[in-house]
Amino acid sequence: TEIEGCSVPWVVRAAVEFIETQGLTMEGVYRRSGSTMDIREVQAQVARIGVATNGLFDDKCAVVADPDMDVPSVTSVLKQYFRDLPDPLMTMSTYQMWVDAANISDVSERISVYRTISSTMPLAHAHTLQFMMQHLKRVANNQGENKMTTNNLAVVFAPNILHMSRSNVLQDMANMSEINKTVSFLVQHADSVWTDGVQEMASGVESMSLSQSMPSPTSQFYGFMQHGRDNGKTSFDMSFK
């Protein structure tokens, strides 16, 4: 569901809208990869919108891709956006808390702990995590057709949103079971972890400083197109409307 007044980046909202409209029941919707040519076209589309709106992404008619675009190309761009964030969606500062909570056996206690961890993250990260987990739950609800179970979605998504810096790959490998369990649980229990309490945090979005917002996909995708891969640096950061 939409989080009123939330700070979910435009590229995330637009990609999710496209995926749910065009490919919610597509088999392997998040497991399949798009073609390089189509992925670059989606990236170029996002960059064009960013330039046309001066980075505000406030054009209500803008779409991430034409309806006939291959859906896996859009899912690939969305996964790359999260993969290339300088600070992962679930943040490096809360990484160990997520991992440690993965082995809590009591479901109610685990939900409570996850809710607390989420509330400590910057608003843009907290709102986007809620938005994505609720989206992935809707994907999983159609697993009879798309074959994407909560475990399958976790295997695909978890390494992109819950990890340490790239220099700590061995630590992530050691924690991979807990990382996957965390994301699978969040998808399965998304509606219980995120309640009205988290949505009330949206009232502070307007006063959110730029340093708390998520990076612009425009700068990410320009870097990708010019240098082959984003180098983690962005020319400007801002929250999206």
pLDDT tens, residue by residue, 184-199: 999 999 999 998 533 4
| DSSP 8-state secondary structure symbol assigned to residue 234 | -
- Binned at pLDDT 50, 70 and 90, residue 234 comes out as very low
Side chain identity, residue 106:
D
Q: Which residues contact 214 (CB under 8 A, 6 or more apart)?
A: 7, 9, 85, 124, 125, 128, 237, 239, 240
Task: Report yes or no: 3 and 205 within 8 Å, Cβ to Cβ.
Answer: no
Nearest to 96, CA basis, from 203, 178, 215, 194: 178
Q: pLDDT per residue over 33-48, tens digit each?
A: 999 999 999 999 999 9
Structure tokens at 95: 């990484």
- Binned at pLDDT 50, 70 and 90, residue 6 comes out as low
H or E stretch including 75?
helix 71-83
Q: pLDDT per residue over 62-99, tens digit each?
A: 999 999 999 999 999 999 999 999 999 999 999 999 99
d(CA 63, CA 116): 34
d(CA 171, CA 165): 10
Task: Report yes or no: 158 and 180 within 8 Å, Cβ to Cβ.
Answer: yes
**Rg from Cα positions in the chain:** 17
Rounded to the nearest 10 degrees, the angle between the axes of helix 176-188 and helix 150-161 is 120
- 215 phi/psi in degrees, rounded to 5: -65, 155
The total number of residues written for the chain in this structure: 241
H or E stretch including 195?
none
Task: Report yes or no: 30 and 153 within 8 Å, Cβ to Cβ.
Answer: yes
Structure tokens at 116: 């607390």
Task: Specify the residue for token string 């891969």.
Answer: 229
Q: Write down the pLDDT at residue 227.
A: 33
- What totals of helices (H) and strands (E) does the chain contain, helices first? 13, 0
